[in-house]
């Protein structure tokens, strides 16, 4: 039996995960209207044997302030299901995972669409379930206000249950679904998935989010800055599985990691500083404000500390992470804003391939991760850098595959095929 | 010879695979659409519904939902228009507008949305609306839905994106517009988070029309599909539709009326060409939508035998003159203006 190996996702987003990525001289600034660029990124990730490419999603702008929004590249881009459907027939092995919301879709349509993506790709599709916390999105769907956190998760639980029954062929004319939020009469009109069912991914980190993941998810994406946070999350979530009759290995936990890698540590630092310098202050503060769900952070002195904040209804767990870091490292609003603008609360590693591999190895072997969702700073350069520098180093250490062994996303992830 | 002397030709793929021996694989469908593109057809329409009942068991369903299939086909073709059916019951208007806007960028301006004015009970039953809509409600809802989708497609001006790295200006905020729609059935703020269509807006193809829908179609559609009917009846319908288009203040050339044709398989090529010529010259339509199973043999018969005959008679253009679906159809910018 081969040793346990880590799973890797290539998280594709706009011109890059760094908020100022699009301004970098080597960033592909027209990414959001260039399908060939995405085909190339997917092929790069596939050649490097990544388990999957991953697209996050929101059905609306990211930033309500149009002046701020116009200084980022995140207001326009491809809708991910159409994007991944195009990538499906331009790649042959890599998994294709997209976010889609349980608040603004219906389970029958979502199950059918992802199953179609699964057929187009020969069993390589996955769905990242989100419940949507943004009031900007809500305003595109006739809502007068966001649903409370618990409500959104109750709808999500019912949604996921119906999708699973449809994918598993367990919903038919005799036993349709008639529930609190949804009613469905018929089975899907598409054949069964080539991998049994598309892979189900989740990212909710709150208590109710963790329970939903423990009940239904195959993969969990998470944000954790320190080893201790990552380990605590990992142990907590794996510990919840037994209650649902599942084994620890039935879920793969993949924290986000935002590496900046170069041949030497000095070069990596220089590359990172170059990106940080490109962040306008008002953009950094606005991004931090939206993570903290407060609208008037700009009123506070930018070189002063973060003010005391009321508990948030929308993103409870991530807010706690941000606050904890600002207190721990004694950061000013400007410093915190730049820090978070760069990696959006995910874990940042700046260094050589060996240094990045050391850090990943420590979390992987220390029982804090089954793999990582890699968030390159800008595209295509930083995905290329990870693929050509870090992946070979991980392979040399026996920590990552040298080639695909199976054909489906479930094969890559080592997940059971549902019956 | 003016544009109006040439007919427009589309093929519609039936959603079922008539021959169970033929795998409904993507590569098979890709070959079909590539053949239609080599023949210079205006567009391929992709249906998106299951066989109506078990009575159609001989038709195994295609394993693909139409918008996902369209995205994939867009990457293996470069000229032909690609139109997907998508239901106003199955999708929220913001999501549908966004999906098609994205498809239009993936296809470099070759995408259309086929909306139907007819309510499908199978969809209401599976999309948490088991009671369905009254026909009046459904008509008003569909009209509102279409206006939202077309409005969202205009949310970004064609020159909104600046890509100004050194100046730090990615787009011009003055050239991004909220929709701010509040209506009887929907409220949608907008804008889309997808850039402007390379062809101004995706093409709106309307089908399933009944008499009370005709004014909605005349106001909003780029292409109207009419069911096959006797030639005198068709002429009257066509003239009526054009009167309604003019009454909305739209240019008569802004709407193309295509007649569905489903009976070509049983006829000799010359007879098919005769019948299409007769219908076209009698001013009963602007062209035809040939409905066929997704089989290369069915397309071969039409492309290799009927099409050369139509070209010989000067009824169909020799090749594509532009690269977008709107250019194939001789349409100016987005509909509904």
Could you report the predicted ipTM of this complex, rounded to two decimals? 0.95
pLDDT of residue B51: 46
Residue B337 lies in a domain: no
Asked if residues B57 and B25 have their Cβ atoms less than 8 Å apart, the reply is: no
- Among the three residues A339, A366, A384, which one is the final residue of a domain in this structure? A339
Q: Which of A87-101, A157-171, A266-280, A293-307 has the lowest mean pLDDT?
A: A293-307
CA distance B298 to chain A (A): 23
Phi first, then psi: give them for residue B215, nearest 5 degrees: -70, -35
Q: How many CB pairs under 8 A join A and B?
A: 178
Record: contact B170-A33, CB cut-off 8 A: no
Residue A407 lies in a domain: yes
Pairing of strands B16-17, B60-61: antiparallel
Tell me if chain B has a CB within 8 Å of the CB of A168: no
Q: How confident is the model at residue A289 (pLDDT cuts 50, 70, 90)?
A: confident
Phi first, then psi: give them for residue B85, nearest 5 degrees: -75, 140
CA distance B93 to chain A (A): 8
My answer on whether A20 and A116 are in the same domain is: yes
For residue A74, give Cα distances in angstroms to A34, A258, B68, B107, B194.
Answer: 14, 18, 23, 21, 10
pLDDT of residue A312: 59
CA distance A243 to chain B (A): 31
Tell me if chain B has a CB within 8 Å of the CB of A304: no
CB neighbour list of residue A381: distance below 8 Å, 6 or more residues apart: A24, A26, A27
Rounded Cα gap, residues A84 and B237, in angstroms: 42
Residue B31 lies in a domain: yes
Residue B220 lies in a domain: yes
Tell me if chain B has a CB within 8 Å of the CB of A64: no
My answer on whether A171 and A228 are in the same domain is: yes
Tell me if chain B has a CB within 8 Å of the CB of A58: yes
Closest-approach residue (CA) in chain A for B128: A183
Provide, as residue numbers in chain A, all residues whose Cβ is less than 8 Å from the Cβ of B180. Answer: none
How far from chain centre, in Å, is Cα A158?
Answer: 22
My answer on whether A292 and A350 are in the same domain is: no
CB-side neighbour CA atoms (13 Å) of A118: 25
CA dihedral A66, A72, A75, A81 (to 10 degrees): -160
Residue B75 lies in a domain: yes
Three-state SS annotation for A34-63: CHHHHHHHHHHHHHCCCCEEEECCCCCCCC
Tell me if chain B has a CB within 8 Å of the CB of A71: yes
CA distance A171 to chain B (A): 11
B173, B191, B195 ranked by CB distance to A32: nearest: B195
Residue A419 lies in a domain: no
Residue A312 lies in a domain: yes
My answer on whether A101 and A15 are in the same domain is: yes
Record: contact B72-A120, CB cut-off 8 A: yes
- Domain residue limits at A202: 7-262+346-413
Structural Rg of chain B based on CA atoms: 20
My answer on whether A285 and A361 are in the same domain is: no
Q: Is residue A144 pLDDT above 90, yes or no? A: no
Provide, as residue numbers in chain A, all residues whose Cβ is less than 8 Å from the Cβ of B72. Answer: 85-86, 88-89, 120
- Among the three residues A339, A374, A396, which one is the final residue of a domain in this structure? A339
pLDDT of residue A327: 86
Structurally, chain B folds into a number of domains equal to 1
Overall average pLDDT of the A71-86 stretch: 96
A79, A182, A186 ranked by CB distance to B102: nearest: A79
pLDDT of residue A398: 98
Phi first, then psi: give them for residue B178, nearest 5 degrees: -70, 150
Q: Which of A228-232, A350-354, B163-167, B293-297 has the lowest mean pLDDT?
A: B293-297
Residue A26: CATH number of its domain:
3.20.20.30
Three-state SS annotation for B130-152: CCCCCHHHHHHHHHHHHHHHHHH
Partner B, chain A 86-145, Cβ-Cβ below 8 Å: 86, 88-90, 104-106, 108-109, 112-113, 115-117, 119-120, 136, 139-142
A62, A89, A183 ranked by CB distance to B76: nearest: A89
My answer on whether A353 and A325 are in the same domain is: no
Q: How confident is the model at residue A234 (pLDDT cuts 50, 70, 90)?
A: very high
Overall average pLDDT of the A303-324 stretch: 74
Tell me if chain B has a CB within 8 Å of the CB of A73: yes
My answer on whether A329 and A361 are in the same domain is: no
* Sign for the pseudo-dihedral over CA of A304, A310, A312, A316: positive
DSSP annotation of A327 reads H
My answer on whether A164 and A209 are in the same domain is: yes
A69, A73, A141 ranked by CB distance to B92: nearest: A141
My answer on whether A150 and A280 are in the same domain is: no
Residue A267 lies in a domain: no
Provide, as residue numbers in chain B, all residues whose Cβ is less than 8 Å from the Cβ of A191. Answer: 61, 63
Structurally, chain A folds into a number of domains equal to 2
Rounded Cα gap, residues A204 and A216, in angstroms: 12
Residue A81, helix vs strand vs coil:
helix
My answer on whether A18 and A147 are in the same domain is: yes
Residue B335 lies in a domain: no
Q: Is residue A121 pLDDT above 60, yes or no? A: yes
Residue B334 lies in a domain: no
- Domain residue limits at B268: 3-329
Residue B10: CATH number of its domain:
3.20.20.30
Provide, as residue numbers in chain A, all residues whose Cβ is less than 8 Å from the Cβ of B111. Answer: none
For residue B240, give Cα distances in angstroms to B142, B250, B257.
Answer: 22, 14, 11
- Among the three residues A302, A322, A339, which one is the final residue of a domain in this structure? A339
Asked if residues B124 and B89 have their Cβ atoms less than 8 Å apart, the reply is: yes
CA distance B70 to chain A (A): 8
Rounded Cα gap, residues B57 and B297, in angstroms: 22
Closest-approach residue (CA) in chain B for A185: B126
Record: contact A185-B125, CB cut-off 8 A: yes
A22, A78, A83 ranked by CB distance to B170: nearest: A22
Of B207, B161, B274, B195, nearest in space to B46 by CA: B207
* Cross-strand pairs, B43: B10, B81
pLDDT of residue B229: 93
My answer on whether A223 and A297 are in the same domain is: no
Measured in Å, how far apart are chain A's first and last C-alpha atoms?
25
Overall average pLDDT of the A394-398 stretch: 98
B75, B101, B168 ranked by CB distance to A23: nearest: B168
Residue A127 lies in a domain: yes
DSSP annotation of A249 reads G
For residue A326, give Cα distances in angstroms to A17, A223, A225, A320, A368.
Answer: 21, 16, 12, 10, 23
* Sign for the pseudo-dihedral over CA of A193, A375, A284, B195: negative
Record: contact A190-B126, CB cut-off 8 A: no
Average pLDDT, chain A: 92
B50, B94, B105 ranked by CB distance to A141: nearest: B94
Per-residue pLDDT of chain B (337 residues; tens, 9 = 90+): 455 689 999 999 876 655 544 455 899 899 999 999 999 999 999 998 754 444 444 456 678 999 999 999 999 999 999 999 999 999 999 999 999 999 999 999 999 999 999 999 999 999 999 999 999 999 999 999 999 999 999 999 999 999 999 999 999 999 999 999 999 999 999 999 999 999 999 999 999 999 999 999 999 999 999 999 999 999 999 999 999 999 999 999 999 999 999 877 778 899 999 999 999 999 999 999 999 888 888 899 899 999 999 999 999 999 999 999 999 999 987 544 3
Residue B336 lies in a domain: no
My answer on whether A286 and A328 are in the same domain is: yes
Q: Is the peptide bond before B191 cis (omega within 30 degrees of 0)?
A: yes
Of B155, B176, B196, B165, nearest in space to A71 by CA: B165
Record: contact A71-B163, CB cut-off 8 A: no
For a pLDDT cut of 70, what percent of chain A falls above it?
95
Measured in Å, how far apart are chain B's first and last C-alpha atoms?
28
């Amino acid at each position: 039996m081969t040793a346990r190996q880590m799973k890797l996702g290539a998280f594709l987003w706009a011109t890059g995960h760094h908020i100022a990525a699009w301004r970098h001289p080597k960033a592909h600034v027209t990414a959001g209207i260039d399908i060939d660029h995405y085909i190339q990124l997917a092929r790069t990730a596939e050649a490097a044997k990544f388990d999957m490419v991953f697209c996050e999603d929101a059905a609306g702008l990211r930033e309500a302030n149009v002046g701020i929004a116009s200084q980022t590249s995140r207001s326009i881009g491809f809708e991910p299901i159409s994007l991944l459907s195009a990538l499906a027939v331009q790649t042959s092995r890599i998994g294709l995972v997209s976010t889609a919301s349980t608040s603004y879709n219906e389970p029958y349509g979502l199950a059918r669409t992802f199953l179609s993506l699964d057929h187009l790709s020969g069993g390589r599709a996955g769905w990242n379930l989100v419940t949507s916390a943004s009031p900007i999105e809500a305003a595109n769907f006739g809502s007068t206000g966001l649903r409370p956190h618990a409500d959104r998760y109750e709808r999500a639980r019912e949604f996921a249950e119906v999708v699973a029954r449809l994918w598993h062929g367990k919903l038919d004319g005799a036993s349709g679904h008639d529930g609190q939020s949804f009613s469905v009469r018929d089975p899907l009109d598409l054949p069964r998935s080539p991998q049994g069912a598309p892979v189900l991914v989740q990212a909710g980190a709150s208590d109710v989010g963790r329970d939903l993941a423990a009940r239904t998810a195959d993969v969990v994406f998470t944000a954790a800055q320190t080893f201790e946070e990552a380990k605590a999350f990992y142990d907590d979530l794996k510990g919840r599985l037994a209650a649902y009759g599942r084994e620890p290995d039935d879920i793969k936990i993949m924290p986000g990691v935002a590496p900046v890698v170069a041949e030497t540590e000095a070069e990596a630092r220089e590359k990172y500083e170059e990106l940080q310098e490109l962040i306008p202050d008002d953009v950094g503060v606005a991004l931090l404000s939206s993570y903290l769900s407060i609208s008037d952070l700009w009123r506070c002195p930018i070189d002063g500390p973060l003010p005391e904040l009321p508990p948030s209804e929308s993103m409870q767990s991530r807010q706690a992470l941000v606050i904890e870091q600002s207190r721990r490292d004694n950061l000013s609003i400007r410093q915190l804003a730049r820090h978070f603008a760069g990696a959006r609360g995910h874990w940042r590693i700046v260094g050589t391939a060996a240094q990045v591999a050391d850090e990943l190895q420590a979390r992987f072997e220390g029982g804090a991760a089954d793999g990582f969702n890699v968030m390159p700073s800008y595209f295509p350069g930083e995905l290329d850098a990870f693929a050509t520098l870090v992946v070979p180093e991980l392979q040399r250490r026996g920590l990552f595959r040298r080639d695909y062994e199976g054909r489906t996303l479930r094969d890559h992830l080592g997940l059971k095929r549902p019956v | 010879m003016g544009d109006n002397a040439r007919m427009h030709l589309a093929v519609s793929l039936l959603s079922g695979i008539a021959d169970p021996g033929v795998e409904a694989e993507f590569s098979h469908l890709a070959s079909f659409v590539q053949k239609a593109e080599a023949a210079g057809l205006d567009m391929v329409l992709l249906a998106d519904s299951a066989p109506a009942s078990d009575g159609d068991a001989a038709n195994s369903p295609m394993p693909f939902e139409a918008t996902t299939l369209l995205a994939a086909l867009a990457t293996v073709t470069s000229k032909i228009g690609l139109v997907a059916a998508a239901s106003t019951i199955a999708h929220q208007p913001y999501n549908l507008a966004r999906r098609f806007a994205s498809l239009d960028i993936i296809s470099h301006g070759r995408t259309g949305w086929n909306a139907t004015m007819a309510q499908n009970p199978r969809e209401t039953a599976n999309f948490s609306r088991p009671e369905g809509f009254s026909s009046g409600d459904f008509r008003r809802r569909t009209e509102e839905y279409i206006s939202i989708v077309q409005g969202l497609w205009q949310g970004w001006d064609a020159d909104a994106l600046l890509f100004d790295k050194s100046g730090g200006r990615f787009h011009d905020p003055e050239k991004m517009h909220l929709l701010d729609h509040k209506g009887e059935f929907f409220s949608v703020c907008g804008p889309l988070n997808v850039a402007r269509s390379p062809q101004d807006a995706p093409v709106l193809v309307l089908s399933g029309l009944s008499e009370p829908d005709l004014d909605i179609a005349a106001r909003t559609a780029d292409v109207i599909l009419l069911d096959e009917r006797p030639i005198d009846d068709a002429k009257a319908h066509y003239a009526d539709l054009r009167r309604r288009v003019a009454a909305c203040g739209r240019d008569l050339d802004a709407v193309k009326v295509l007649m569905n044709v489903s009976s070509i398989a049983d006829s000799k090529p010359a007879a098919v060409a005769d019948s299409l010529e007769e219908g076209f010259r009698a001013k009963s339509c602007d062209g035809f939508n040939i409905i066929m199973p997704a089989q290369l043999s069915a397309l071969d018969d039409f492309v290799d035998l009927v099409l050369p005959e139509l070209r010989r008679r000067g009824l169909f253009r020799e090749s594509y003159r532009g690269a977008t679906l709107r250019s194939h159809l001789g349409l100016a910018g987005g509909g509904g203006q």
